[in-house]
Structure 1
Amino acid sequence: MRRRPRQKLSFLKPIRLATVFSAGLLAHSALAAANADSVPKDRLPPVMQPATKPTRAEVDTALQQLLSRRPDDRRDAADALRRMGADAAPARAALSKAVGDESPAVQVAAAEAFAASFGRGTQAVDSLLLALKDDRELIRIAAAGRLSVIGQKDAGRIVPALVPLLGDKQPAVRAKAANAIGLLADAAPDEAAKAVAPLVKLLTDRQDPAAWEQRFDAANALLRIGPGAKTAYPAVADALRSPDVIPYFRHRLIPLLPRLADKTGLKPLLSELARDKDPEVAQAASALAAAPDNPATTQASPR
């Protein structure tokens, strides 16, 4: 019996998902690092969209490829379904099952495609809010990430639903929730301000050495919340002084200072950090101290 040739996805060139494995987090950190809103913009792969609306036949072709014996094929199929968005709704059940795939890369791609299959709008937000309570952490991560992309109009009800995830048992879930709250902060400033206390808790949590990602995303969320997070300044200052915080993290924290520090507190801290052993930390502190809009010499503009 002749084997039927495997069909290719004609409408879209499959793109291999970039997964980043931080120590101890494996696939869970991969999702947090692979999402566009948590990776530096200069490292992002080009975003590709289908040139035309995918047909049901193309969805079925991707579904067939999702059953391939080759992990690369399954990952590419899930990634293609993610790019179809709501048009991949018929594949949602198969994608949910694929989250349990033996390949971590397939798990990540399937979770992202599952979240994207709800599309946009109020109904999509409702479904993704339910997905935040899923037993599978990759689904919770993907749902939080998707809500941060489509949820600007519904941020007032999304942010409160994300806050409980800041206490999730998995560091990667906590990190993605913090990231999502930060991205929605401008659309729901009052609700985001209520998340400051748990974000500070994440920022100061040193019990898990591998949880640097949650601290990084908590810091960025506090930056986006801005004046509503001024009570976080002592925690940020402590993190910048702490020798057990990696230099890259400390360097990225420095932009928080103009939004959080008062005039009297900022100047001594910047002077101290300008003498730091790490050149990037010292350079960032010196540059901020010399900036004309430095809150050490001028009041920060109100939000």
Structure 2
Amino acid sequence: MRYLENEPLAPYTSWRIGGPARYFVQATSAADLASALAWAEQCNLPVFILGGGSNILVRDSGFDGLVIRVRGHEVRLEANGDTASVIVEAGAPMAGTARRLARQGWSGLEWAEGLPGTIGGALYGNAGCYGSDIATSLDRAWVLVRGETQEWSVDRFAFGYRTSVLKQMRAAGIRWQDQPIVLAAAFRLHRDDLTALAQRMERTSNERRSKTPWGASCGSVFKNPPGDSAGRLIEAAGLKGTRIGNAEIALRHANYIINLGGASSDDVLRLIDLARERVLAISGIELELEIQIVG
């Protein structure tokens, strides 16, 4: 394992924003991950686990500890007639995995077409779109807990809207060294017609493209309030197209903030604060972040 010092994090994030990690390493196996965590513990360093770099905003000051990028991406299919279980390592891309399986005639993850991020990140935040999510697709998963691999049922993740027990533990300030880290996940699949699968995925892709603004972003910045849409509320507050520095609330979808090129984390954070304040003043609704701020 190669530990890098002062490694810029912006290239590893979908927002293309973020300062350096004091130390940075890529882990391709459970043994790599356990070794990196032990090294950080020995050096008394805070840890951040990085997947695909979506749904996070890294501050320009970077992260004063060890960033571990999870890179294991093996996919293993276990078929039994017209049903199957697919075991996917945490570093595999969510959308790429869904496409790969659909091309083989397996249905169950096609809703994730175009979804950014990795399998591990999707479990962490219960990623979802177009009427489905990880909670409804997952069969079981394997997590690393203080060096020990454990198999978890779906119930143990306590999934909710864009959250899980893993995300709740981080929000409560529990260190990565002390909380479960996703290693792999198993999903239930069934045989489907190749043409029908391709058509469904094409419709999802077209719908996503029609709503997704062009440019570097993290996807949705805020969770949708019950019965409403964060994008609609921000648009109703008159904030579409608002710019601070080189960051802009997107004209196509107001729940996206676009890096126009060279945006700082402060530019984005000021737009986040503005959107929250304006929406609260106009509608009385307090927007909750979907993204995680690092550093």
Q: Same fold (TM over 0.5)?
A: no
User: Which structure has the highest helix share of the two?
Assistant: 1
Larger C-alpha radius of gyration, 1 or 2?
Answer: 1
Structure with greater contact order relative to length (CA < 8 Å, sep ≥ 6): 2
User: Which structure has the highest strand share of the two?
Assistant: 2
